[in-house]
Every structure is written in C-alpha cells, then in structure tokens.
Homo-oligomer: A and B are copies of this chain.
Amino acid sequence: MKSVKLYEMKKVEIIVRGEDLDFVLDLLDRAGATGYTIIHNLSGKGSHGFHEGHLLFNEEDTLVMVISVMPENLVEAVLEGITPFLNKHSGVVFVSSVMVSRVGKFGDVPTKADGGT
C-alpha cells in the first residue's frame, strides 16, 4: 500500500545567537521559505572558522535553532544570505534531505505528482 506520497525537500537548520533571530527569519522570508520552527534556549560551544581561533559561541550565550523545510531551489538563496552573515557573527548552518508527505506546506514547487507532462 502506498497511500501516502513522499517528496524530497531540504531541511535547513540555522543556529545563531538569540539576538540574531530576526535576521534569520527575515532572510528565510525573502528567500521564499514559507514556514519555520524555532527551538529556543539552546547552549553551545565551538571554534569560529579556519583562522580566527576565537569562540564560535560563549557558553553563556543563549542560542536559537531555526528549522525550515523548503524546496531545493530555495536553499541557495538562503545560503547566499546567511554565509556572509556567519563570517561576521557566530552561528552555523547545515542542510540535509528530508521526505515530507505533503509538499504544499513547504512552498510551491512543481513535482511529477502534479501531473506535468
């Protein structure tokens, strides 16, 4: 039985300082991502970049993770917006593949299931 159709989308996870949350949400909005979930009150630690050697996060920072699932064609706009930001601010971004059962919730992407010829 295959009653639930699955579609491949990209999950973008962005961890930044709480004070930078609005920048991330605005960026997702401008890139065309239609939804996001926020996990609050994270903590973390890490080194920052190749050369600098200073801390990515202080252990006292309050961090947030923003999770947004989107069609692959939106990911590059998000990365092009977030990468220069992360060169100056603390944070990380990672992208992975997920399957979703209803593509309509995550943006308007044409799929084979739409019956295109």
Contacts and interface: CB of A to CB of B under 8 A. Distances in A.
Contacts of A63: 37
Nearest to A6: B95
Chain A binding site: helix, strand, loop or mixed by DSSP? strand
A34 B46 contact: yes
Interface residues of A, number: 51
A99 B94 contact: yes
Contacts of A102: 49, 83, 86
Contact of A35 (B11, B13, B34, B46): B46
Interface in A76-116: 76, 79-80, 82-83, 86, 92-102, 104-106
A30 interface: no
Interface in A22-45: 34-45
Contacts of A35: 44-47, 56-57, 92
6 interchain residue pairs of minimum CB distance: A35-B46, A50-B104, A37-B44, A94-B98, A4-B79, A95-B99
